[in-house]
Chains A and B, each alone.
Chain A
Amino acid sequence: MNQLRPLESGYQSRTMTNIVRLACWNGAWVGTCALIAFGPKFLWNRTLLFTLLAVGLNVCVGVGMLLSNKKYVEGLDELQRRVYLNGLAITVGVSLIAGVPISVMAGYGVIPCKADIACLMMLMALTFLVSMLYGTWRYR
Chain B
Amino acid sequence: MKNRLKVLRAERDWTQAQLADALDVSRQTINAIETGKFDPSLQLAFRASRLFGMRIEEIFHDEDGRSLATEIK
Contacts and interface: CB of A to CB of B under 8 A. Distances in A.
Interface of A: 1-2, 4-7, 10-12, 15, 77-80, 82, 136, 138-140
The 9 residue pairs across chains A and B that have the minimum distance between CB atoms: A6-B21, A77-B25, A79-B29, A1-B13, A139-B32, A4-B22, A4-B18, A2-B12, A11-B24
B32 A79 contact: yes
A101 to B, nearest CB: 35
A77 B29 contact: yes
Interface stretch (B35-43, B55-63, B65-73): B35-43
Interface in B20-51: 20-22, 24-26, 28-29, 31-32, 37-38, 40-41, 44
A133 to B, nearest CB: 13
Given A2-B14, A78-B40, A12 B26 contact: yes
A29 to B, nearest CB: 27
Contact of B22 (A5, A12, A136, A139): A5
Given A80-B29, A138-B37, A140-B28, A7 B21 contact: yes
Given A1-B12, A2-B12, A140-B31, A80 B26 contact: yes
Nearest to A8: B24
Interface of B: 12-14, 18-22, 24-26, 28-29, 31-32, 37-38, 40-41, 44
27 contacts: A1-B12, A1-B13, A2-B13, A2-B14, A4-B18, A4-B19, A4-B21, A5-B22, A6-B18, A7-B24, A10-B21, A10-B24, A15-B26, A77-B25, A77-B29, A78-B25, A78-B40, A78-B41, A79-B25, A79-B28, A79-B38, A80-B29, A82-B38, A138-B37, A139-B37, A139-B38, A140-B31
A77 B18 CA distance: 16
Nearest to B9: A4
A140 to B, nearest CB: 7
B23 to A, nearest CB: 8
A45 to B, nearest CB: 51
